[in-house]
A and B are shown apart, each in its own frame.
Chain A
Amino acid sequence: MTNSPATTSPDAGPPGLGSEAEGTPARSGLALVLGALPWLVAAGLVGAAGYLGGYLATIVAFALIYAVFVTGLNIFMGFTAQVSFGHNAFAAIGGYTSAVLTTTYEWPPLAAFAAGLAGSLALAGLIGWPTLRLKGHYLSMGTLAIGLIVYEIAVQWESVTQGYLGISGIPSLGIGRFEATGDRQILAVLTAIVLLGAFVVARMRRSRFGRALSAVAGSEEAARALGIDVARYKLASFLLSAGFASLAGTLFVHVVGYVSPEVFGLHMVILAFTMLYVGGLGTVVGPIIGALVISLLPETFRGFRDYQDLGYGAALILLLIYAPRGMAGLIDLAAGRKAS
């Protein structure tokens, strides 16, 4: 096909569409600065936690573990626009497998992680394969069910999970001879894992695979008309996000040294949803900034004592009103672009 030059100028569209004009160079420079902002804020928070240690370090470590979980959830819910209420099940499988294998059976953490990952992916395949082929909300209902079922198993299967009592004495994160001890080392390991996760997602987004996920999110009908096997990509997205959840579960038990059924309860899903929506659905940095902000927000209002929950709630509502696409979206708006 011949390559004819564009004769339509960008302003040739119908009148009243001023927003169509290209961003000026000054604007895109501003956008660049603002785009780096959430990363800088995140780096600052993690750096401060490493420097100050103590309670702040503990909270930031939890936030980073959640960042891994939410990064995975974002692949499925943000980039692919599907819904899951049961990703805590995969965190539980990863976490419990790591806990049991590294304590009772004295496996090295990495091998135990791999076993948990395999278990999570197997369950995700089992639930995803049949439900993703059907139209409607079968998968979200199925995920809600597995979240509850896995919780019940953690409670009831006492011979392995020790029920409500939980499993303690789980070794710290380690590979071979190296074992992460102390706040700083743990924060460093978690930060590296979060950055690796973000890197994977950023690469994925700009690839044939990632574009196919966005196509499924944008219009299943149009995606199919272009030859995309929608059910297959949904399943791949579900498996990937389950893998991140499993990793988060493993990280949690090693960092805390203890696990009980409550750790991976439904509140995990609610918290993760909040982080995802506040941070920014379908963005790379959103899950990270969301996890940090939502973990630190209650602490910010601690000084007000009685008003803590109220202040926290009000802050959340304000965020969702002024940044319906999350904080990453807010920055796009400020840069004069449409929220992406």
Chain B
Amino acid sequence: MTVRLSVEGATKRYGGLTAVDDVSFVVPDRGVTAIIGPNGAGKTTLFNLISGAQPPTAGRVVFEGEDVTRLPPEAKAARGLVRTFQLVKLFADLTAAENVAVGTHLKTRGGFLSAVFRPPSIRRMEAGIAARSRELLDLVGLGAVADRKAATLSYGRQRLLEVARALAAEPKLLLLDEPAAGLNAEESARLSDVIRKIAASGTSVLLIEHDMTLVMNTADDVVVIDFGRKIAQGAPAEVKANPAVIAAYLG
């Protein structure tokens, strides 16, 4: 196993509140790592520190051996670190397929002039983008609504669309923030399937999730956060039986 991501002593303070408190763990280059913890434990804040949405107060984020702590999100995305959002952030004016197409931004080329003159190479590229978007929408079960405006989709479908869009960026590490929230049973089962496929294809996955069935079904390793601190880490079954974890959840 080689290390894809290493979080070292990550800390985030908001005034007097320490949302993330000296958290360290590593994400291997394969498999699914889950982060669980009660509401307000600091999971999303931790994601923000990793993805560059916010700078940490202290600590380091190392991605594939490079210190990326202070890089802006777009620079981290360019290195293969791509996230989704707990509160979906879709591009409302675009269709589902176009949203996924935006995901291919880093993997494609072309600016204003090539858009206007549309030479054969750009036509081919656009055809490729359309096919790929279609494929990813089918994967998450949204093939039938490819041409609908993202804003008109149900909440669960919007979440799945975010996953497809992030996948289009061909990440090396995919960060998913509660992807199963708002999904019905069928969608949730499909998501579980999709996450395993993503991991099998060589992308490591870091997953924040409250849905324990999904965590048990997909995760190889579980990190437990409570009040900003890491209180446990281990295999799903192991963590589930850990007294400190049970205490945290029972409050």
Contact = CB atoms under 8 A, between A and B. Distances in A.
Nearest to A79: B93
B142 interface: yes
A191 B156 CA distance: 46
Contact of A6 (B51, B110, B125, B144): B144
A214 B116 CA distance: 16
Interface string A1-40: 1111111111011100101101000000000000000000
A282 B91 CA distance: 13
B187 interface: yes
Contacts of B154: 13-14, 17, 20
Interface in A197-239: 200, 203-204, 206-212, 214-215, 217-219, 221-230, 236
Contact of A20 (B111, B118, B152, B186): B152
Nearest to A16: B154
B115 A20 contact: no
A226 B82 contact: yes
* B contact residues, range: 35 or more
Name which of A8, A210, A212 has the most chain B CB atoms within 10 A of its CB. Answer: A8
Contact of B90 (A204, A219, A240): A219
Contacts of A267: none
B169 interface: yes
B190 interface: yes
B153 A224 contact: no
B112 interface: yes
Interface residues of A, number: 47
B43 interface: no
Interface string B92-110: 1110001001111110111
A181 interface: no
Contact of A224 (B72, B109, B110): B72
Name which of B92, B148, B151 has the most chain A CB atoms within 10 A of its CB. Answer: B148
B144 A214 contact: no
A225 B82 contact: yes
A338 interface: yes
A8 B118 contact: no
A300 interface: no
B219 to A, nearest CB: 20
Contact of A225 (B73, B116, B136): B73
A228 B89 contact: no
B144 A8 contact: yes
A212 B105 contact: yes
Nearest to A205: B115
A8 B91 contact: no
Nearest to A81: B93
Given A208-B108, A214-B98, A229-B74, A8 B190 contact: yes
A185 interface: no
Name which of A1, A4, A218, A225 has the most chain B CB atoms within 10 A of its CB. Answer: A225
Nearest to A281: B93
B107 to A, nearest CB: 9
A156 interface: no
Nearest to B85: A222
B141 A221 contact: no
B143 interface: yes
Contacts of B13: none
A204 B111 CA distance: 9
Given A212-B102, A227-B77, A338-B149, A12 B112 contact: no
B98 to A, nearest CB: 6
Given A209-B112, A227-B169, A1 B139 contact: yes
B145 interface: yes
Contacts of A215: 91, 94, 102, 105
24 contacts: A1-B139, A2-B197, A8-B141, A10-B144, A20-B145, A20-B152, A20-B154, A206-B126, A208-B104, A208-B126, A209-B111, A211-B94, A211-B102, A214-B93, A214-B98, A215-B102, A217-B93, A218-B89, A222-B85, A224-B73, A226-B82, A228-B102, A228-B105, A338-B151
Closest 3 interchain pairs by CB?
A: A218-B91, A207-B115, A227-B77
Given A5-B143, A203-B118, A214-B91, 7 more contacts: A4-B138, A14-B156, A207-B118, A208-B111, A222-B85, A230-B74, A338-B151
